[in-house]
A and B are shown apart, each in its own frame.
Chain A
Amino acid sequence: MDRPSGVRFPVPHKKVSLDIKGNKTDVVICSYNDHFLVIVTQIGAMGTILHARKEEGVSTHPTFSVSVIFGKRDEPMLEACARQLIENISCSSSSKPLVLSLGLKDHSVETLKGIVSAVIESRLCFTVLQISRVGCVLLESRFSDEFDIQAFVRGFCRLLGLSSCFSDTKTALEHY
């Protein structure tokens, strides 16, 4: 069945291949409505699968919970990797949980740091730009690995003398 052209597949994904300590590493990041999925593999399989999420709470400092749902349950480095990623991808409004799969040849600190930085560089982000308080332009950037798009948009706003720039839709809507 033909779909209307220009209709995007609802789950954007990004695939990256990199070298970490001599091991070819494939990374796939998918963004579902209510979850992020990150697959990191050096062994041709998903390996250990972890689930990480931000806890709902009243305190100002968010807490995160990480658990292994499949595979090695005695590797603290894997949990630390998941924790770093969920802390990084969660912001005040968006708190999608993360499913992380790590199929690695080694669990050294260097490898896991390499993975965390590769994923953070590739994360999906959305930016809302307000213009003259009349309307707002949704500047959608799905892949921010070429440059820091949020810094770019803020600089752009300052140049034009715009009054506000919000980094996510929810905060922008709350402003009104």
Chain B
Amino acid sequence: MTSVSSSTINRLDSPQVVDDDGLQVTCFTEDLHDVTFHFQIIRLKKQIYAWIGCNTAKFGHLYAAVPARPNNTANVTSLLGGSSDNTGSSIARRLVLKTGLSIILACNIPKNSPMLEADAERKLIEKLTALGYTVSKSQGLALNS
């Protein structure tokens, strides 16, 4: 038995946060030099999904990263996209360290572009901090579960 209790349709041409007691979706675009980055952040209670689009809206490679208890580290694994190109895996790892949550990251940044990766990561973390999804350094890795 199902009933639809609410539905939200988003026309996205500006940064937007949909507030709900469950899931929050944020989409925004940043133009940097000659590259356009598109970002999507979906905040679930215990996890964050993020997508980084570099100029295109292709899905890209998919990674899962989880906090690892000793030493406040993170483990990353590639889910889609093969293992020869790990562009984005280090971003996923650092998102875990910044947020304390497990992360699913999709990223289509071309390989061998460390500058693009760094720019994208910086912008994404800025937004995560602005949304209140990150934890401060003094708290270390807050393992929410």
Interface residues of A (CB under 8 A from B): 1, 3, 5-21, 24, 26, 28, 30, 32-35, 37, 39, 41, 43-46, 49, 51, 69-70, 99, 101, 103, 110, 114, 117-118, 122, 143, 145
Contact = CB atoms under 8 A, between A and B. Distances in A.
4 smallest beta-carbon distances between A and B, as pairs: A44-B45, A9-B12, A35-B59, A10-B57
9 contacts: A7-B13, A12-B12, A13-B10, A13-B27, A17-B7, A26-B22, A28-B23, A33-B58, A46-B49
* Majority SS at the chain A contact face: mixed
Contact of A17 (B6, B27, B40, B57): B6
Contacts of B46: 43-45
Contact of B31 (A3, A28, A34, A43): A3
Interface of B: 1-13, 18, 20, 22-23, 25, 27-32, 38, 40, 42, 44-47, 49, 51, 53, 56-59, 62, 64, 77, 79-80, 102, 104, 106
Contacts of B77: 70
B10 A14 contact: yes
